Amino acid sequence: MKSICKFDRIFIGLLLAGGACAASAGDDITTSLEEAVRGGTVALDFRYRFEGVDQDGFGKDAQASTLRSRITATSGSLHGFTVLGEVDNVSVIGSDHYNSTVNGETQYPVVADPKGTGINQVYLKYTMDSANGIYGRQRINYSNQRFVGGVAWRQNEQTFDGFRGNWQVLENLNLDYSYAYRVHRVFGPDDGANPAEWSGDNHFLYADWKVAEGHNLGAFAYYIDVESQRGYAAGKTVNNSSDTWGLEYVGTLAMLNVRAAYASQGDAGDSEQDYDADYYLLEVGGKLAGIGLKGGYEVLAAGDGVGFATPLATLHKFQGWADQFLSTPGDGVEDAYVGVDAPVGPVILAAVYHDFQAEDSSEDFGNEVDLSATWPVNERFTTELKFAGFSTDSNRYSDTNKLWVTLQLKL
């Protein structure tokens, strides 16, 4: 009987100790969750834009007056894990005389800012000392976004569903890999003249090697696989599949900022095209008496009648703001450009001149002048005025003038 009573006492003691540990663990979890919630942030971003387009071939000018409202909620860290959720709404709050690609107003030039509400980002992130991983819908930008980017210029941003991992292998070597099974494009959230989404197995790999102070070498491989979609031609789906690899250098030489790149591309996936094409870039810039100067030469070459393509790039950053070369022509395109920027009081003025030529023929595509005035009033409010004027004698393109007025408030 004594042994049984002794056992009972031990058993009850273990239960009480276990309960105390469970209560303590529960308290720890509750405390950690509370800290994660208290450590979270909520941000608001409102961007109003008026975009006007005067394009030959259209009897009416486009006038788009839109507001993008964004709310972003981020948790604090819970044992290395954080959660982010972001919702965007694009509303027409003024003139709606434009072709958004989904509204059927084809008598106007295109302004690819369709109205709608959608989840822009929602993901779980885990962070360690030398690595991190993100799973979910996310913004993916690589390097200068020439090949893969979020297209933040448009009111409806491009985001990706999938996984991204970053690993600091060595102090001067970083590896970045992404797998995306769905691309949410700027044409969403509804299907229209262009697919709002692309599905497929997309792999992006970028290795960044800091060779020396002020000298970085990047190696990249981008495999884009776009599946077919009912109702859309191959040119808007599978023919955007490609396999691209290349190298780029970013650094400072003799007080000059230098960017140089080379890439090779071929067809991939279910593409109906059979081609190989190259990409070249050399850009040099610097400052003189506070004035920024730059000059560059970028070539998207052609192979077998198909031009080097970058369908997932932030295209507005390249080849002129008039966006005449969102799709590379079959004889390629050469872009020789010079630019200048300077502060005038609180306003930053910039001007860029582009000369466009075919890479694989003798055709002159035209030229473009881009002008901008940006006034960061304070850290929360920014205003910008931009103009792009594209002129051409080519029967493949049209004279186009575009004007933007942007007001952005971040809270």
Domain residues of the chain, as ranges?
1-34, 49-410
- Element containing residue 24 per DSSP (H, E): helix 2-38
Q: Which CATH architecture fits 49-410?
A: Beta Barrel (2.40)
192 band by pLDDT with thresholds 50, 70 and 90 = confident
Nearest 5°: phi and psi at 153? -60, -40
d(CA 350, CA 332): 27
| pLDDT of the residue at 292 | 97
d(CA 336, CA 359): 12
CA 332 and chain centroid, separation: 23
Q: What is the pTM of this model?
A: 0.89
Provide mean pLDDT across the span 385-395.
97
5 band by pLDDT with thresholds 50, 70 and 90 = very low
Output the CA–CA distances (angstroms, integers) from residue 11 to 4, 18, 178, 186, in the order listed: 10, 10, 52, 64
Residue type, 212: A
Per-residue tokens: 236 = 């808007």
DSSP annotation of 103 reads S
CB contact at 8 A, 68 and 93: no
What digits encode the pLDDT tens for the residues 126-181?
Answer: 999 999 999 999 999 999 999 999 999 999 999 999 999 999 999 999 999 999 99
Please count the helices (runs of H) and the strands (runs of E) in the chain.
Answer: 1, 20
Instruction: Give 302: exposed, middle or buried? Use CB within 10 Å, 0-12, 13-18, 19+.
Output: buried
What digits encode the pLDDT tens for the residues 54-92?
Answer: 999 998 999 999 999 999 999 999 999 999 999 999 999
